[in-house]
Amino acid sequence: MRSDPGLIRSKAFAAAIVLLSLLPLAGCETPPSGVPSAADIRGLKPSGRVTMTQFFVSGTGLGSGTLAFRGRTYPFTLIGSLNGLGAIATTEASGEVYKLSDVSQFPGAWIQGNGNLAISTLANGELWLQNNHGVVMRLNARQAGITLSNGRYEIFITLNQ
């Protein structure tokens, strides 16, 4: 089966338009510099639960998810980026949220990764994210596709109204 270069270009252009239209939602917030670990949540109870799905093309990912917090469910949208050559992959993740005391601390910039070179085609494992409010997500993630990055991953979350 042969790929149509015009179709590929038009899909890439459409993805770029979607990404550019979502950038204002990201708030242009700078992600935190630290990467969380088990030591950051030792002895703490989860304050909520998260599920999310994301699709990556090149170095950009778009997705959605839900936050369950204090008896309510909050849907959200996310934009992600990988440092490296990029990916053609999908990621599904779910897990606990720690150190969240108010839902207003959830949206914004999140970071994951230690800067190690990563090449993956199919992966299951833990994904640790932290934001500027010190909120930590510990997720079990499943990826299908191929990714070539330096191991650093950033997402920007916006709660849906």
pLDDT tens readout for residues 134-148: 999 999 988 887 766
Higher-confidence residue: 51 or 150? Answer: 51
Statement: the pTM of the whole predicted model exceeds 0.85: no
CA-to-CA dists, residue 73 to 80, 139, 159, angstroms: 22, 17, 11
Note the pLDDT of residue 20.
Answer: 44
Note the pLDDT of residue 39.
Answer: 83
Give yes or no for a contact between 111 and 78, defined as CB atoms under 8 angstroms apart: no
Q: Which has the closest alpha carbon to 129: 120, 147, 141?
A: 141
* Model confidence at 123: pLDDT above 50: yes
Residue 71 DSSP symbol: T
10 Å CB burial of residue 105 (0-12, 13-18, 19+) is middle
* pLDDT, average across residues 34-49: 86
Q: Which two tokens stand for residue 150?
A: 């330096």
